[in-house]
Structure 1
């Protein structure tokens, strides 16, 4: 019986998603490689973007407070903070074509003192790098831009919102339709999953999409997308012991590098144009 109810709930979620799929196309415009990623998932429509972004702002602020209490928050004049924010300033203007909400986000970039090899961008443009990824991998500016572009792409393509939408569709079951109309159960789902924004696991499809979008963002900003290859070579080397947290949900190794190399012909002209015009 429980298994049957789960199947029904899953079917109800998919049915609603299918009904929603006929809505407006997602944010990816014809901006070079946008045609390769297509529309945003219909599941994003199950959860209001504003609520996801509000949850992200709250979680990010809490993280910064905790880091500050441990004297682990990089100061505004820290050389690495200045470096990260400089790279972000170059990338962010190219994000607007991918998601119009990004223009109104209050973007933040911060550095957390930790040995973790990790970085992320939460919804609403809340970016954090850990010192471990910079210090242990000795990242160049181009490689930092690849990491940052990849993480920004997750936020622009609303992968966290998609995951929460799928959870809502699966968990709500028979009440899915009324929940969407009234946002009652959706609100409960946001409360339940909001605290997990820092630990959400993305699918391989999400990761491949973020690679492509991130490479385009970086290339348009004048960063060499070939650094994606050297970045993942460094990541693979770092994962020979215990895999870095950054790799916990990210495909890696030779397959990942080969995928990036196949995508380079699409983004190299954007990089060359940016260098020429810069």
Structure 2
């Protein structure tokens, strides 16, 4: 009876702690899912800032931060075209404290931590050899994860599971320290795969971002076709947290017509 009472109490606390949130506007692409959050945006953004600074400092100390000016300038130029388009989904997003860096690494990877902390690895560029539009698809996809606060959502789910399993004595997100959140943001960024639902949302929002920025959205399809073929005997690291496949490519192809007029208008 005591265990049952604890579980009931934990669920009650969970329901109180979690809030149904509409993180983004639907845009032309029509992403409307509400998300349950038990951790505040402020906490996650603070933790992400710490986690990102740690990665930047490690890269700097290794002499691997923004080594190639041409590559750095290219990534900056594409990012700065995409960032203003985030207002379609979140009016506050263009005003985030965005940071954009390039890390010299053989890893085929890129990410955008909460709050707009972007990192592109040179291994992705060297291996995939993306066009500017294909690179915009990568960066737009990563930006979309930040806009939808997918890291915050995943941390909230983890706290929810802890509450139900261990009872009301387990700390909620409101009690976690910035360093704990930073560690968890790093885990979410580098080791834990996004759900298929989150990946589909990032694909679709990223598609609209690139179209509004004047990049041909068809390049998102060719990008993931290249990704699927990359890596020789095994998939690149990027695909360990960003699953690919024919269904993903079909979904992109289906959604390109929705954003093509936006690209055509931007390209005039």
Q: TM-score, normalised by structure 2?
A: 0.88
Whether contact under 8 Å (1:172, 1:185) holds in the other structure is no
Q: Distance between the aligned counterparts of 2:163 and 2:177, measured in 1?
A: 8
Written as runs of structure 1 = structure 2, the 5 A alignment for 1:188-227 is 190=181, 193-199=184-190, 200-227=192-219
Q: Distance between the aligned counterparts of 1:103 and 1:128, measured in 2?
A: 17
SS where residue 270 of structure 1 aligns? helix
Shift of 1:197: 4.1
Q: Any idea what the Cα deviations from partners look like across 1:95-143, whole Å, max 9, x if unmatched?
A: 1232344233211111101111110000010000110110111110000
Shift of 1:253: 2.7
Q: Distance between the aligned counterparts of 2:118 and 2:34, measured in 1?
A: 21
- State the match for 1:231 in structure 2: 223
Gaps of 5+ in 2: none
Written as runs of structure 1 = structure 2, the 5 A alignment for 1:171-190 is 171-173=162-164, 174-175=167-168, 179=172, 183-184=174-175, 190=181
- State the match for 1:256 in structure 2: 248
Q: Any idea what the Cα deviations from partners look like across 1:184-240, whole Å, max 9, x if unmatched?
A: 258796366244243242100100110000000000000000001110111111144
Distance change >3 Å, CA 64–CA 19, structure 1 → 2: closer
Q: TM-score, normalised by structure 1?
A: 0.85
2:22 is the alignment partner of 1:26:
yes
User: Which of residues 125, 140, 150 is equivalent to 1:159?
Assistant: 150
Runs of 4+ in structure 1 deviating by more than 3 angstroms, as ranges, are 7-11, 17-21, 176-180, 185-189
- State the match for 1:241 in structure 2: 233
Q: Distance between the aligned counterparts of 1:9 and 1:99, measured in 2?
A: 36
2:35 is the alignment partner of 1:41:
yes
Whether contact under 8 Å (2:133, 2:219) holds in the other structure is yes
Shift of 1:170: 1.1
Q: Distance between the aligned counterparts of 1:118 and 1:185, measured in 2?
A: 29
SS where residue 111 of structure 1 aligns? strand
Whether contact under 8 Å (1:56, 1:197) holds in the other structure is no
Q: Distance between the aligned counterparts of 2:117 and 2:9, measured in 1?
A: 32
Q: Distance between the aligned counterparts of 1:49 and 1:40, measured in 2?
A: 15
Q: Distance between the aligned counterparts of 1:17 and 1:152, measured in 2?
A: 30
2:63 is the alignment partner of 1:71:
yes
Distance change >3 Å, CA 168–CA 141, structure 1 → 2: same
Q: How many residues align?
A: 263
Q: Distance between the aligned counterparts of 1:241 and 1:14, measured in 2?
A: 48
Whether contact under 8 Å (2:217, 2:260) holds in the other structure is yes
Whether contact under 8 Å (2:114, 2:146) holds in the other structure is yes
Whether contact under 8 Å (1:114, 1:131) holds in the other structure is yes
Q: Distance between the aligned counterparts of 2:64 and 2:162, measured in 1?
A: 38
Distance change >3 Å, CA 178–CA 140, structure 1 → 2: closer
Instruction: Quote the RMSD (CA, aligned, Å).
Output: 2.8
